[in-house]
Amino acid sequence: MQRLYDFLRRHPAGVDCFWALVVLGVSIVSDKNPGTRVNGTDNLALILPVVVLLCGVIALRRRAPEKMLLLAVALGVAQLALDVSTTPADFAFLVIIYTVAATGARWASRTALITGLSAAPLAQLRWADGELSMGTLIAVTVFQTVPFALAWVMGDSVRTRRAYFAQLEERNARLEKEREAQAKVAVAAERARIARELHDVVAHNVSVMVVQADGAAYVLDTAPDQAKNALETISSTGRQALAEMRRLLGVLRTGEHKEAGEYVPQPDVQQIEDLVEQCRTSGLPVDFKVEGTPRQLPSGVELTAYRIVQEALTNTRKHGGPNAGASVRLVYFDDGLGLLIEDDGKGAPHELYEEGGFDGQGHGMIGMRERVGMVGGTLDAGPRPGGGFRISALLPLKPAN
């Protein structure tokens, strides 16, 4: 049964032709005794063309609904003018009214409604039964008009339903595209976040390890104790880097930050002092001061402040030269946290802070700007008037809207 239903849905034109032949056969059988006709002409030469054309309306209703409506209206007028009374083929009027209301143009739908409502009154005027009273005649007219009205209402309901489902499909498609776009944006943001974290962790710790390794190699023969201290610094720095890498990998695997166990907490402002001490141990003189009243800050501001200081000191080691020194200032305002990191070294190439990097360099500065932008802050980076490099940032306590 399902196969038959699917077959019929795949061949709607064939179904229409089948019903057109059925109506044609019924009309021919009903008119085989023309002498029995009560109203209208008995001339088969007039009746047969009208019946055949009305059946053609049924067969072609899906392919050209507007044209078939106009043909049906013309045939109705011809029936009135030539005195060809109703036959079973007039069922085509109900079919074409339904079809046009469901799938035709709006003007055709309105025309079908007006024609359908006018058909029964015109038929009663043309072939009125003189034996019926006025009340009965009106009742019969109304009764004959109801099928035409119902055919139009059913067709218009189908049109509305199809439009509703089409709107739902369009909305679903639009929402699906929006979800895909949002997912791409989320993936890009997550990639940028991971890249910033990896850069900050790897660049800082590896630079410390490289400096200590070079120092250890230089004094290995002349000052074994200093070389030993450098190796211990390399070891502790490597362990710290591994701990932060485990934290990052844990976030990637679980999608959440773990505060205990295998993964260490996110760095905060309180750990900046440890960071400064680590830089001092690695041979970079750093002056560290805190102004204002220290207090708990939003976690995003805490992490951003730590990473800015970390990246700034890393850049000093990389670009400041062998005798460079640095200073770090943390200023607690009522509505934010100020950072000022300066060094007296050679300074970084302008491509790193003006154009965002070249040949794979400068990603740290890009990451700093992204971090500050995410918390709604401002960042200024560039050479100092007296030499060296300066990075200043203002991080608001309220998140960006």
CB distance 307 to 268 below 8 Å: no
The predicted structure's pLDDT at residue 32: 61
Q: Average the pLDDT over 292-321 and give the result.
A: 86
Percent of the chain with pLDDT over 90: 30
Give the model's pLDDT for residue 221. 75
Check residue 57 and give its pLDDT.
93
Tell which wins on pLDDT, 323 or 202. Answer: 323
Instruction: Give 241's pLDDT tier (boundaries 50, 70, 90).
Output: confident
Question: Which pLDDT score, from 0 to 100, does residue 258 have?
Answer: 44
The pLDDT score that the predictor gives to residue 37 is: 53
Given 128, 149, 169, the domain boundary residue is 128
Question: Rounded to 5, what percent of the chain is helix, strand, coil?
Answer: 65, 10, 25
| More confidently predicted of 218 and 91 | 91
**pTM score > 0.85 for this model?**
no
Q: For position 158, what pLDDT does the model report? A: 94
User: Is 259 contained in some domain?
Assistant: no
Structural domain boundaries, residue 61: 2-128
Whether the Cβ atoms of residue 300 and residue 332 lie closer than 8 Å to each other: no
In this predicted structure, the answer to whether residue 260 has a pLDDT above a threshold of 50 is no
Assigned domain for 149 exists: no
φ, ψ dihedrals at 285, nearest 5°: -65, 125
Q: How confident is the model at residue 357 (pLDDT cuts 50, 70, 90)?
A: very low
Residue 326, pLDDT > 80, answer: yes
Considering the domain boundaries, does residue 202 fall inside one?
no
Answer whether residue 355 shows pLDDT above 60. no
Number of domains in the chain: 2
191 or 255, which is more confident: 191
pLDDT of 218 higher than 80: no
**Rounded distance, CA 55 to CA 292, Å?**
94
Is residue 295 included in any domain, yes or no?
Answer: yes
Q: Please give the average per-residue pLDDT across 34-54, as a whole number.
A: 77
Residues 112-157: pLDDT tens digits? 999 999 998 998 888 877 777 888 888 988 999 999 999 999 999 9
Strands (E) in 193-294, as ranges, are: 286-291
Residue 257 pLDDT: 46
Last residue of a domain, one of 81, 102, 128: 128
Q: Is residue 124 part of a domain?
A: yes
243 compared with 25, residue with greater pLDDT: 25
CATH of the domain at 345: 3.30.565.10
Distance CA 235, CA 271 (A): 19
| Predicted confidence (pLDDT) at residue 196 exceeds the cutoff of 80 | no
Average pLDDT, integer, range 250-265:
50
pLDDT band for 359, please (50, 70, 90 cuts): very low
Give the least confident one: 19-28, 327-336, 339-348.
Answer: 339-348
Of 79, 108, 128, the one marking the end of a domain is 128
pLDDT at 352 over 80: no
Q: Is the pLDDT of residue 98 over 50?
A: yes
- Of all residues in the chain, the percent with pLDDT exceeding 70 is 84
Mean pLDDT of the chain: 81
Long-range contacts of 61-68 (CB under 8 A, 24+ apart): 61/16, 61/95, 61/96, 61/99, 62/12, 62/13, 62/16, 62/99, 62/103, 63/13, 65/96, 65/99, 65/100, 65/103, 65/104, 65/108, 66/100, 66/104, 66/105, 66/108, 68/96, 68/99
Classify residue 267 by its DSSP letter.
P
